[in-house]
Amino acid sequence: QVQLVESGGGLVQAGGSLRLSCAGSGRTFSGYAMGWFRQAPGKEREFVAGISWTGGITYDAGSMKGRFTISRDNAKNTIYLQMNNLKPEDTAVYYCAARLGAVQIPGHLYGYWGQGIQVTVSS
């Protein structure tokens, strides 16, 4: 069965760093774009970053520019999100997602989702 599993979350102080990983299994993800989304309690899910199959095209939300970097290792069916200079407002459940085709920002265009992983940034 197709599965995406996030790892690498946890508690970090403001200004610190974390690297999230998302490992896919159950199928080949050839041709799939992948992305990261997040959702805080009481807030809507929002796009964080996306990456094309080749890794040649990446997108990130404006609030994360210069702080978050998305990358992928297709041999491992894994994507990463390097998060630097974390802020309390980054606290959320982070979700990995995949879709066949190009990177898109709206979450409803992604067909596969992980269960999410908590990232908590303390002040």
pLDDT class for 56, splitting at 50, 70, 90? confident
Q: How far apart are CA 51 and CA 86, in angstroms?
A: 21
3-state secondary structure of 104: coil
- Degrees (nearest 5) of the Cα angle 67, 71, 50? 75
The size of the chain, in residues, is 123
pLDDT class for 65, splitting at 50, 70, 90? confident
> What pLDDT digit, counting tens, does each position of 74-92 carry?
999 999 999 999 999 999 9
